[in-house]
Amino acid sequence: MIVSKSLNLYRGGRFTSSASGESFVLTMEHSSSLPPHKLRCTHASASDLQACLGDAETGFRLWKEQDPFLRAQTLYHMAEIASGRQKDLEEALHRSQDGKQNKAEAKELIASLLYYAGFADKYQQLLGSINPVRSPYACQSCPEAVGTVVILGPLAGDPSGLSDTVWAALAAGNSVTMIPGEQDLPVAAILAECADTAALPPGVLNFLSTRNAYLDQAVASSQRVRTVWISGEEEQRLSRIRYTGATDLKRVESGRQLRSLKKIIAFTDIKTIWEPQLN
């Protein structure tokens, strides 16, 4: 007997339904001999987003309190779990991308997580600096996580770009809410299940499923969000979110570069400390 899979929201360390009780059926059509695949997905509302961001704020405090070395270990453990579910990732990619390069892309999802896990306790040394000043002070600069991050998947679908951005933001020490495009929902749901199994602190990684771009304006106008990243090149969408997000000086970026230290920098603020030197 085959039980049809349903996708629930994942926030605050638990899977839950929408506050409105709404759902939608995602049908994946294929040009090959694969039959159409139907998936029932919970439809997140604006109230779900606000509740999720509240959980993300709590998750950020828990994640920040952990030593960077422990954060790196947790992400590495999540990569181990994702490796054990590689077949599930391949099947989800096979459905969402019509079977094209699903094995290579599944391996890339796991490899990028390992890449950023290695940087979780090292990027501070690489990006920090001691600044020369002409005064009796010691001046040091170091990166710190920005806080609550929302990552929007491209409407056309791009699981590699989406997951790579999620790992970079987590490695920097942020809490992340990912809202994928419709085609990436099955893959993103598996990543949320891996995070749950890896015992990430509640609220560190959250997953909302919704129709394409439905929550864009709610994300852009929320003052709980520090950074929004669109993991793709969508100029009109980027401009709309930047326009709305300018009210609270929200950082809004986009891009698809993979395995890049620069992507970690995008999710940090540089804090400078001045300390008087006593003779």
Phi-psi region of 255 (alpha: psi -120 to 50; beta: other; left: phi over 0): left
Distances (CA, A) of 200 to 33, 63, 75: 39, 8, 8
Look up residue 187 and give its two tokens. Answer: 């893959």
SS (H, E, C) 37-62: EEEEEECCCHHHHHHHHHHHHHHHHH
Superfamily designation of domain 6-276: Aldehyde Dehydrogenase; Chain A, domain 1 (3.40.605.10)
What are the domain boundaries of the chain? Answer: 6-276
What is the reported pLDDT for 232? 83
Alpha carbon distance 106, 101 (integer Å): 9
Alpha carbon distance 61, 93 (integer Å): 33
First vs last C-alpha separation in the chain: 79
- Look-up: residue for tokens 């998750």? 59
DSSP string, the chain: -PPPPEEPEEETTEEE--TT--EEEEEE--SSSPPPEEEEEE---HHHHHHHHHHHHHHHHHHHHS-HHHHHHHHHHHHHHHHHTHHHHHHHHHHHTTTSSHHHHHHHHHHHHHHHHHHTTTHHHHH-EEE--SSSEEEEEEEEE-SEEEEEPPTT--HHHHHHHHHHHHHTT-EEEEE--GGGHHHHHHHHHHHHHTTPPTTSEEE---STTTTHHHHHH-TT--EEEESS--HHHHHHHHHHHGGGT-EEEE----S-HHHHHTTEEEEEEEEEPP-
pTM of the model: 0.92
Could you tell me which residues come within 8 angstroms of residue 121 by beta carbon, excluding any fewer than 6 positions away? 67, 68, 69, 71, 72
Q: Label the pairing between strands 37-42 and 23-28.
A: antiparallel
Contact 196, 171 (CB under 8 A): no
- Consecutive sets of 10 residues in the chain, 279 residues long: mean pLDDT of each? 77 92 77 62 94 96 94 96 92 70 86 95 92 90 96 89 95 96 91 93 96 92 95 90 92 89 93 85
What is the reported pLDDT for 94? 78
